[in-house]
């Protein structure tokens, strides 16, 4: 990481999404799955978008997907440093409602990104912040 | 055209100086714009009874503060949204008797949209859970990802995207108020040679990011007939949204079913009783070329996947059959934070015949499309006509 300490924005851990961040700390990516109709919901919402049921369970996903699209960002906000970073919309295999997750790449040269590339969700410790963040790495 | 409703008209428009780093407050810019637009129409602030601020985070307390600022008489209509949708709602409110003079207004000062919005801090700031800035995905990055997908999905010609800023610079050179006109022409090679911002987008392909304010006044037929300006009738208009703001992207991102822009266009064109061929001049929200390409598809000017080709055919250029963004648009005129009103203002000026060197010949019907918040997440369409 180019800038130490880490100065990029981090998510507020709010009560309604605590299970998600606890999952991330265990290196598990949890998505609310509807117990009524079986659909997945990302980003998490209080009720299922398909049937409006509030009966949802934080459920572990397979944890890999394909690059729906991406950008290599050369001019980011100042706290993102001067090195280009990869931003990806990762399409997951879970269905029927599509799951597309925004994240940054790690462990690769972002210039090697391409649409359709298989990636897996990995977990990165942010030491100065006591925070684990999800990233995408080549599968 | 006959049979169209002509119950409300845009009677005043005003844009303040548009520039980076204006040493002004938002309030001052908005006040100047409101006063300017009312003065153009020959109306008093005491006649205003409808308020539509364009700040996307508008709370009702902002309407109340402006009610006080405007003298404390009863304001009978208050709304939110973007400018084209605002024009549509203002006209609708006037037609149903909720208001007589509605002001749509916006100002931005020292509140950048681009990467400068995140300041250097000594500790990582905390933001909402799924906020895109966690991943450095500010607006240019979203539209870069959209462009990347489109180029791949439809095997679209890359040069057609780089051509758009070239044409908009040409328009800006005919607009003395534009930010970029005085810099002279650019070529496609210049676009590719400008520094990479977020692949595949170069600097010249990205919106400006500046300060400025504007206001649009919509009035009833009775009042409009007595105004100093030529009335520009609101003959159709609608708004639509289909998703939360930059939270969830669905696959496919470019859905053949269409989304908010398509829906708003269908309603607005239906109200106005127009077809695509009836439109003489347009303002199509153009923060990036991909936005214009997708606007054209969603609005039904061409099919999904054909937008870049359609744009390259030249319909939107100054010598085309529907000149669009004749002020230079968001790449070369001004992007002031929520510039959705700038397109409507330019269309109004074209319909009035006030555009000087960039004047379109005798336009009768114009359309403005505003979009934003989640790339086509929120759309507004206004169909305008002169007498």
pLDDT, tens only, A6-16: 999 999 999 99
Highest CATH level, class, for B8-111+208-386: alpha beta
Q: Provide the residue range defining the domain that includes A134.
A: 15-138
The answer to whether residue A9 neighbours chain B at the CB level (below 8 Å) is yes
A113 assigned to some structural domain: yes
User: Going by DSSP bridges, is the β-strand pair B77-78/A10-11 parallel, antiparallel, or unpaired?
Assistant: unpaired
pLDDT for the residue B1: 42
Q: Are A129 and B124 in contact (CB under 8 A)?
A: yes
Cβ-defined contact of A9 to B247 (cutoff 8 Å):
no
Kindly report each contact of residues B68-73 with a partner whose C-beta sits within 8 Å and lies 24 or more positions away, as own/partner.
B69/B31, B70/B34, B70/B45, B70/B46, B71/B45, B71/B46, B73/B46, B73/B49
Residue of A nearest to B140 (CA): A73
Cβ neighbours of A42 in B, within 8 Å? 248
How far does Cα B193 stand from its chain's mean position? 28
The answer to whether residue B155 neighbours chain A at the CB level (below 8 Å) is no
A4 assigned to some structural domain: no
Q: Please tell me the distance from the alpha carbon of residue A131 to that of residue A10, in angstroms, as a whole number.
A: 9
Q: Are B9 and B224 in contact (CB under 8 A)?
A: yes
Cβ neighbours of B136 in A, within 8 Å? 8, 73, 76-77, 80, 85, 87, 104
Please count the other Cβ atoms lying within 10 Å of the Cβ belonging to residue B277.
9
Q: Are B164 and B187 in contact (CB under 8 A)?
A: no
Cβ-defined contact of B148 to A8 (cutoff 8 Å):
no
Residue of A nearest to B134 (CA): A9
Q: Are B82 and B371 in contact (CB under 8 A)?
A: yes
Backbone angles phi, psi at A35, to 5 degrees: -80, -15
- DSSP-assigned letters across all residues of B336-383: -SSTHHHHHHHHHHHHHT--GGG--SS--EEEEEEEESSSSSEEEEEE
Name the residue facing B137 among A74, A102, A129 (closest C-beta).
A102
The per-residue pLDDT string of chain B (387 residues; one tens digit each, 9 = 90 and over) reads 444 678 999 999 999 999 999 999 999 999 999 999 999 999 999 999 999 999 888 999 999 999 999 999 999 999 999 999 999 999 999 999 999 999 999 999 988 888 888 877 788 999 998 999 999 999 999 999 999 999 999 999 999 999 999 999 999 999 999 999 999 999 999 999 999 999 999 999 999 999 999 999 999 999 999 999 999 999 999 999 999 989 999 999 999 999 999 999 999 999 999 999 999 999 999 999 999 999 999 999 999 999 999 999 999 999 999 999 999 999 999 999 999 999 999 999 999 999 999 999 999 999 999 999 889 999 999 999 999
Name the residue facing B149 among A11, A69, A102 (closest C-beta).
A69
Cβ-defined contact of A9 to B152 (cutoff 8 Å):
no
A78 assigned to some structural domain: yes
Structure tokens at A94: 């879970």
Q: Are B55 and B109 in contact (CB under 8 A)?
A: no
Cβ neighbours of A98 in B, within 8 Å? 250-251
Cβ neighbours of A12 in B, within 8 Å? 126-129
Cβ-defined contact of B125 to A9 (cutoff 8 Å):
yes
Q: Cis (ω within 30 of 0) for the bond into B147?
A: no
Q: Are A89 and A69 in contact (CB under 8 A)?
A: yes
A23 assigned to some structural domain: yes
Cβ-defined contact of B248 to A89 (cutoff 8 Å):
no
Q: Residues 102-131, chain A: which have Cβ within 8 Å of B? A: 102-104, 115, 126, 128-129
The answer to whether residue B129 neighbours chain A at the CB level (below 8 Å) is yes
Residue of B nearest to A11 (CA): B129
Q: Cis (ω within 30 of 0) for the bond into A39?
A: no
Identify from A7, A15, A18, A71 which residue to disrupt to test chain B contact, counting B C-beta atoms within 10 A and taking the largest count: A71
Residue of B nearest to A135 (CA): B135
Cβ neighbours of B138 in A, within 8 Å? 76-77
Alpha helices in chain B (DSSP H): 26-41, 60-69, 83-95, 139-154, 158-173, 188-193, 221-224, 260-272, 289-298, 307-312, 329-332, 340-352
ipTM of the predicted structure? 0.97
Please give the interface size between A and B, counted as residue pairs whose CB atoms are below 8 Å apart. 144
Residue of A nearest to B245 (CA): A43
Angstrom distances, CA of residue B290 to CA of B156, B160, B243, B281, B294: 11, 10, 19, 20, 6
A7 assigned to some structural domain: no
Cβ-defined contact of B141 to A42 (cutoff 8 Å):
no
pLDDT for the residue B56: 84
Q: Which has the closest alpha carbon to A51: A41, A65, A61?
A: A41
Structure tokens at A101: 């997750």
What total number of domains does chain A contain?
Answer: 1
Q: Please tell me the distance from the alpha carbon of residue B360 to that of residue B54, in angstroms, as a whole number.
A: 28
Q: Three-class SS of residue A22?
A: helix
The answer to whether residue B138 neighbours chain A at the CB level (below 8 Å) is yes
Kindly report each contact of residues A40-49 with a partner whose C-beta sits within 8 Å and lies 24 or more positions away, as own/partner.
A40/A94, A40/A95, A40/A97, A40/A99, A41/A97, A42/A99, A42/A100, A42/A101, A42/B248, A43/B129, A43/B130, A43/B244, A43/B247, A43/B248, A44/A16, A44/A17, A44/A20, A44/B129, A44/B130, A46/A16, A49/A97
């Amino acid at each position: 990481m180019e800038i130490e300490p880490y100065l990029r924005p981090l998510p507020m851990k709010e009560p309604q999404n605590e299970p998600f961040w606890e999952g991330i700390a265990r290196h598990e990516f949890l998505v609310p799955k509807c117990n009524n109709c079986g659909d997945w919901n990302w980003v998490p919402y209080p009720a299922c978008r398909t049937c409006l049921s509030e009966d949802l369970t934080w459920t572990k996903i397979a944890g890999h997907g394909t690059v729906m699209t991406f950008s290599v960002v050369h001019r980011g906000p100042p706290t993102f440093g001067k090195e280009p970073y990869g931003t990806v919309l990762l399409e997951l295999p879970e269905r029927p409602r599509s799951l597309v997750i925004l994240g940054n790449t790690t462990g690769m040269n972002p210039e090697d990104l391409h649409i359709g590339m298989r990636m897996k969700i990995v977990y990165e410790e942010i030491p100065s912040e006591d925070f684990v963040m999800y990233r995408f790495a080549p599968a | 055209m006959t049979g169209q409703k002509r119950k409300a008209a845009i009677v005043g428009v005003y844009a303040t100086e548009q520039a980076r780093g204006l040493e002004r407050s938002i309030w001052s810019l908005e006040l100047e714009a409101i006063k300017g637009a009312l003065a153009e129409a020959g109306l008093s602030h005491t006649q205003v009874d409808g308020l539509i601020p364009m700040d996307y985070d508008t709370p009702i307390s902002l309407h109340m503060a402006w009610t006080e600022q405007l003298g404390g008489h009863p304001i009978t209509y208050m709304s939110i949204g973007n400018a084209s949708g605002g024009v549509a709602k203002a006209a609708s409110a006037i037609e149903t008797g909720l208001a007589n003079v509605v002001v749509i207004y916006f100002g931005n000062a020292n509140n950048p949209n681009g990467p400068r919005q995140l300041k250097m801090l000594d500790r990582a700031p905390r933001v909402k859970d799924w906020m895109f800035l966690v991943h450095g995905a500010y607006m240019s990055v979203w539209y870069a990802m959209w462009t990347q997908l489109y180029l791949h999905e439809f095997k679209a010609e890359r040069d057609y995207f780089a051509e758009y800023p070239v044409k908009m610079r040409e328009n800006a050179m005919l607009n003395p108020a534009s930010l970029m006109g005085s810099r002279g022409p650019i070529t496609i090679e210049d676009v590719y040679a400008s520094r990479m911002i977020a692949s595949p987008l170069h600097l010249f392909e990205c919106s400006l990011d500046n300060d400025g304010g504007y206001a649009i006044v919509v009035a009833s037929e009775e009042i409009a007939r007595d105004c100093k300006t030529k009335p520009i009738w609101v003959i159709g208009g609608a708004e639509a949204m289909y998703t939360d703001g930059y939270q969830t992207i669905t696959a496919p991102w470019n859905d053949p079913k269409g989304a908010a822009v398509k829906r708003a266009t269908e309603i607005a064109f239906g109200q106005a009783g127009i077809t695509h061929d009836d439109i003489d001049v347009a303002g199509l929200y153009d923060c990036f070329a991909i936005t214009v390409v997708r606007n054209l598809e969603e609005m039904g000017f061409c099919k999904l996947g054909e937008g870049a080709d359609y744009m390259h055919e030249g319909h939107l250029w100054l010598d085309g059959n529907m000149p669009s963004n004749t002020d230079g648009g968001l790449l070369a005129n001004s992007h002031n934070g929520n510039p959705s009103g700038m397109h409507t203002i330019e269309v109004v000026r074209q319909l009035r015949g006030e555009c000087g060197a960039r004047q379109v010949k005798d336009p009768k019907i114009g359309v403005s499309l505003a979009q934003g918040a989640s790339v086509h997440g929120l759309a507004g369409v206004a169909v305008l006509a002169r007498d």
